[in-house]
Amino acid sequence: MALMVLCAGVAIPFCAQPSAAQGTTLYRLETTCTIRGGAPQDCVVEVTDEGDSTVYRHTIGSRVEVIRVSDPPLRMGILDAPSGRWRQVKSAGARFSTNTICYDDRDLCVINPNHLNSVREERVDSLEGRDLVGVRFGADGRVILTCYDEGCEGLK
């Protein structure tokens, strides 16, 4: 509710209505996802580059989860289907050795080596020798914490 009030009064990118603009399709990946730590399910990820952001559309059976990532600065939003608005992702984590990315703790996890391969090549310095990386976002959607490996223990 607070977020909705905030969205009503201030122009924040992730509060805006989803853009109708069609981006460039980067790839379509048939892979495996989990929802809230449940059983692995087949899912399809369609990824589009929309200029200032990358949109990941996960289709898991009849359910669709859309994540939007932009940088810099790094921001992540998830599409709230009922309202059609973007809400901020609170945290995200990636484990390179399992090719997995999770959003909002483990609400949505997906095997996406493409995303991780790309990130790995973009951030050679900071990811050198790292296996687990996590980010947490503040109320304004900006990164307030980045952790690596053992530094992420205990963080949700």
Partner 1 sequence: MKTLSLPALVLAGVLVIPALPSAPTWAAAGSPSSAEQLLSQRSGGGGSGNRGSGNRGGGRGSGGGSNRRSAGGNLTGGGGGGGQARRSNKNTGFRTASPGMGRGSREPRGGWTGNSRGRGTPSLDRTGSADRNRNAERNRNAERNRNADRARRDERNRGSDRNRNRDNDRARQERLDRRDDRWDRAGNRRDDRWDRAGNRRDDRWDRAADRRDDRWRRASRDWDRWYRYPGWARPGWGPARPWSWGWYGGWSTPRWNWWGPSAAAWGVSTLATAAIINAAVDNAVSSHTTYIVVPNTNYQLLYGSIRPVGTQSTTFSVIANNDEVEITADCDRGTLDGRNPRTRDEAELLNAACQVAFGTA
- Please report how close the Cβ of residue 111 comes to partner 1 at its closest, in angstroms: 5
Return the exposure string of 95-106: e unless at least 16 CB atoms fall within 10 Å of the residue's CB, then b.
Answer: bbeebbbbbbbb
Q: Measured between alpha carbons, how far is 16 from 12 in angstroms, rounded to an integer? A: 7
- Please report how close the Cβ of residue 84 comes to partner 1 at its closest, in angstroms: 23
- Please report how close the Cβ of residue 10 comes to partner 1 at its closest, in angstroms: 11
Q: Does 57 bind partner 1 (CB under 8 A)?
A: no
Q: Measured between alpha carbons, how far is 119 from 56 in angstroms, rounded to an integer? A: 15
Q: Does 128 bind partner 1 (CB under 8 A)?
A: yes
CA nearest neighbour of 58 among 42, 68, 75, 46: 46
CB distance 60 to 100 below 8 Å:
no
**The binder of partner 1 chosen from 15, 69, 78, 79 (CB under 8 A):** 69
CA nearest neighbour of 143 among 53, 56, 73: 73
Q: Does 49 bind partner 1 (CB under 8 A)?
A: yes
Q: Does 110 bind partner 1 (CB under 8 A)?
A: yes
Taking CB under 8 A as the binding criterion, the range among 1-9, 13-21, 78-86, 128-136 that sits at the site for partner 1 is: 128-136
Question: Where along the sequence are the contacts to partner 1 (CB under 8 A)?
Answer: 26-34, 40, 42, 47, 49, 53-54, 69-74, 92-100, 102, 106, 109-135, 142-144, 146, 148
